[in-house]
Amino acid sequence: MSYAILTNTGRQKEAIALANGTPLVLTEIAWGDGDYAPSGAEAALQNEVGRKPINGTGNVENALNTAFFEIILDVAEGPYVIREAGLFDEDGDLFAIVKYDPPINKPADSVSALLRITIAFSNLENLILQVQSVDAYASSDRKVIAGTGLLGGGDLTSDRTFETDFATLAEALAGQLTTKSITPATLAAALGKTDDGLPLHLDLSNSGQPSQNIAKDTSVRCNNMVVVGGNAGAMWNGHRFTVTPDTLGIYGVLNRLNTNNEDGEGAATWKNGVEIMNYQLSANTGTANVMPFTHFVPLLNDGDYIEFYHYHKSGGSRTNNSSKAQIVLISPFTPPA
């Protein structure tokens, strides 16, 4: 590290600033290629090549009373062989001077360079330093890179912002990406939860509804159950539960259909017009028998639906009543891209 020395003028100004408690206002750094050993009597560089406002300053760690001042030489500047540099104050006076040995070689159009002047003051703790600098500088070839889960960044030729790269619901459900974030709302949706914090679910009943005639030995769709609870009422049209692209998944179903005063009661769940699950009691089991059953139904395509059917083996037609069903989303699903 090459240390600068205070010029005679610099020493006088430092002493005055310490005595009076007034600030030293430092403004510019100049550089040149003069090759000599500074004595402190200099009022200018031997051969000044360029000058810039100070870009940055700070204290040198673990070095008592020592501060640094620096500028950035941009990529396009140069070529320079820098052997001398000077720190100037607000009056234009040379405050400190440094010899770089070995010199700093700054080629043109290849790299930027940091030019720093390090100064040991007599009493930095009690010295008030003010630096009139340009805005913080970074060369245009430097960049801020958006890390995992972020969008934005770029080179530092202008202000840059970052945004969180959030996964869509489809991406969250697919569960493949490791480079995106997820919002609480998308997480809840991916878990099948709705605004009430619960998964999609539906409670159906025909209690209190007009009875429906159920013919003997004939599968008859239950058309008189209504919504009595849950948050998926919009998916039930009075006889059919239908999914949309946003509600695909594996559903748990409880089927508890009841036919009044029947023999050999039965019930079934149908998917897309085809029976997929049922129970059937024998004709001699007598009346007042109900056999609830649960099962899982994959509804994985837009428009998939389920319906509920009665049948029995009585001597004639019967009516239904006290029938119930429950439907709940167990696991959401998104089709692969």
Answer yes or no: is pLDDT of 332 > 80: yes
3-class SS of residue 288: coil
Average pLDDT over residues 202-230: 91
Integer-rounded Cα Rg, in Å, for the chain is: 42
- What is the spatial distance between Cα 36 and Cα 41, in angstroms, rounded to a whole number? 13
Which has more pLDDT, 176 or 270? 270
Note whether 147 and 130 are within 8 A (CB): no
Average pLDDT of the segment spanning 16-31: 93
The answer to whether residues 32 and 38 touch, using CB atoms and an 8 Å cutoff, is no
Residue carrying structure tokens 């003051």 = 121
- Cα–Cα distance measured from residue 58 to residue 44, given in angstroms and rounded to the nearest whole number: 24
- Residue 283: pLDDT band (50, 70, 90) is low
Are residues 185 and 302 in contact, defined by beta-carbon separation less than 8 angstroms? no
From CA 192, how far away is CA 71, in angstroms rounded?
57
For residue 59, the model assigns a pLDDT of: 86
Q: Can you tell me the distance from the alpha carbon of 240 to that of 243, in angstroms, rounded to the nearest whole number?
A: 10
Least confident of 28-37, 106-115, 134-143, 226-235: 134-143
Residue 133's pLDDT band (boundaries 50, 70, 90)? Answer: low
- With 90 as the cut, is the pLDDT of residue 308 above it? yes
Is the per-residue pLDDT at 292 higher than 70?
A: yes
Higher pLDDT, 208 or 110: 208
**Residue 76 DSSP code:** T
Number of separate helices (H) and strands (E) present in the chain: 3, 24
pLDDT in tens, 251-269: 999 998 887 777 778 889 9
Q: Is the pLDDT of residue 140 over 50?
A: no
**Residue 190 pLDDT > 90, yes or no?**
no
Q: Please give the structure tokens belonging to residue 295.
A: 């099962």
Q: Answer with the residue of higher pLDDT: 132 or 210.
A: 210
Q: What is the pTM of this model?
A: 0.49
pLDDT class of 181 with cuts at 50, 70, 90: confident
The CA distance from 258 to 6, in Å, is 101
Taken as a whole, the chain contains a residue count of 337
The hierarchical CATH code for the domain 193-332 is 2.60.120.40
The full set of domain ranges for the chain reads: 3-131, 143-188, 193-332
Phi/psi at 120 (nearest 5 deg)? -95, 115
Give the model's pLDDT for residue 151.
79
In our burial notation (b when 16+ CB lie closer than 10 A, e otherwise), range 146-157 reads: beebeeeeeebe
Instruction: Please tell me the predicted confidence (pLDDT) of residue 157.
Output: 56
